[in-house]
Chains A and B, each alone.
Chain A
């Protein structure tokens, strides 16, 4: 009897030490296991489904001028090396236009002056970076939905891809959202921030605002909006620069 208890005691102790060791040093190994990692990553689908069920049309909170950050931190690419972009920047984007194409009936080239002529939306919202910091700023621009309506999306279009002028670590930055977010009233292509035309550091001439998601979804230096059926085959195929190059979630509402 006492021998049994001793062996059980040893077992428990060995189990505890083993479990601790496995957890501390084995987590990295476990994470390399494809099935395990895919299981963890599948929580992203659960997040998206939950958020869509509970708040598909919910509006992100909007703030007053008094709530705004004194300084809005610029992140990611702060300048664009591309010569064509730099020429447009020097001309205050007077000759620049946004391309809307892909799965649309009527591809568009919209000059900045025309984008400013659409009905504008101004919103003071909180920008939440995946790293953990937040900044509150004011954004102005046309809603994306009416632009897509003007271009007339084909029925097979499922995603909107935003192509950007900048390279990040030598690779083109891009992002994508689905149609729920594309037609959300707060999804705008902002050309102004805090009452002034966007600075280069914040993504001039156009920055996507997709308010219910994290900062990396808010593509800067947007030059082309493309409607697609699937994200496969576009750059790395995962729907965005950080999704392709850093294992970040495509659905970034969490």
Chain B
């Protein structure tokens, strides 16, 4: 997001102003496709061994903290997700579902959530490990570029004032009431936005890349610290999965916020870079297109 410098303070609600830089827009869409491919191929890789462990090792004989499977009880077969000792029945979605040909499948994630849609660990690995380069390279370039052009300092940097609990609490209340800033104020990210974008840029994405590297036996040889800081390869695999889950959560909230803030204006600003400032309450009507 660019600050309204070019427009000075003369921009008002209803004006079409420049918002997102080209680097942000290009990275956003490349990343959107990349993350979707990474997620769906990752779910297929998970299907090869749908259990998660803590520690260095973990296989079928070892206790899993998360497991997706199917079982029979009283002649009925069902799919389930088990976290610690709690089972949630997930028949039809996880562990037991029907493929497009109507056949019963007992894999963890269903065909519509995976790449490839038919079970193929080798195929999923080809997708996942190629797009991993796009994800890591794209993030590195974007962060370096955003540092140079001031995007991070101007738009993402959380000021001391914003860190105050009262400020954050006020922002939470505004969000809960679905009250969004209008006029030029809408060009600035609020603290909750900054926290989520910074969390994705500096925590979730780097963590998911690092845990990915930590699972590679080759990397573990020359960079053992990558695996050790997570407490072992299976812990790294668990953290990798948790990060993916949190990124999905971010995506869902992101989509909801875009819908609430005006999907056309928001999507346009991320494609063309131009954003129509939400009208201030008083002088809005005549500024409508």
Contact = CB atoms under 8 A, between A and B. Distances in A.
Interface residues of A, number: 57
Interface string B206-224: 0000000001111111111
Given A40-B130, A46-B133, A71 B222 contact: no
A232 interface: no
A134 B56 contact: yes
Contacts of A51: 216, 218-219, 222
Interface string B92-124: 000000000000000000001001111011110
A128 B233 contact: yes
A2 B289 CA distance: 8
A131 B57 contact: no
A69 B221 contact: no
Interface in A8-63: 8-9, 12, 16, 19, 23-24, 27-28, 31, 37, 39-44, 46-47, 51, 54-55, 58-61, 63
Interface residues of B, number: 51
Interface stretch (A80-88, A220-228, A243-251): A243-251
B110 to A, nearest CB: 12
Contacts of A214: 217
Contacts of A179: none
B222 A253 contact: no
Interface string A58-102: 111101000101111100000000000000000000000000000
B58 A134 contact: yes
A40 B117 CA distance: 17
Interface of A: 1-2, 5, 8-9, 12, 16, 19, 23-24, 27-28, 31, 37, 39-44, 46-47, 51, 54-55, 58-61, 63, 67, 69-73, 126, 128-136, 211-214, 242, 246-249, 253-254
- Which 8 residue pairs across A and B have the least CB separation, nearest first? A55-B222, A253-B218, A58-B222, A132-B49, A133-B59, A43-B130, A71-B61, A58-B221
20 contacts: A8-B268, A12-B271, A23-B37, A27-B117, A37-B126, A40-B130, A59-B221, A67-B57, A73-B61, A128-B215, A129-B49, A130-B48, A131-B49, A132-B48, A133-B60, A134-B58, A134-B234, A247-B126, A249-B129, A254-B216
